[in-house]
Amino acid sequence: MPAIAMTSAEVRERLGELPGWELRADKLVREFRFPDFNAAFAFMTRCALRAEQLDHHPEWCNVYNRVRVELTTHDAGGITDRDFMLAAAMQDYAAASAGS
């Protein structure tokens, strides 16, 4: 059974847990920056493995040392707890890859 999408008020409240993330067009959005491509790709590798475990996958774009991420739950037509779980993991992995 698909998760139920959160209201924008709920999303805004939970955004307090995620420094640097914004609500844009019904998605959780953040751009990470790394020292170089190697660090950015190390981050993406960590995220990819976690995304597979969670069966929840990011929309993202990488240009050299930048990774722009957009999270939404397609099955629910909005943002759910799964997006917050993946975003929280990304925060940890960014720190491990010297990202900000």
One of 17, 22, 52, 75 touching ligand H2B (CB under 6 A)? 75
- Choices 9-17, 28-36, 37-45, 71-79; region in contact with ligand H2B by CB under 6 A: 71-79
Min separation Cβ 74 and ligand H2B, Å = 4
Site for ligand H2B in 47-66 (CB under 6 A): 55-57
Spatial contact of 97 and 46, defined as CB atoms under 8 Å apart: yes
Alpha-carbon gap, residue 50 to 78, rounded angstroms: 20
Interaction between residue 26 and ligand H2B (CB under 6 A):
no
Of 14-22, 32-40, 62-70, 73-81, which part binds ligand H2B (CB under 6 A)?
A: 73-81
- Those residues whose C-beta lies under 8 Å from the C-beta of residue 82, and which sit 6 or more positions away, are 3, 54, 56, 73
What phi and psi, each to the nearest 5 degrees, are found at residue 47? -65, -40
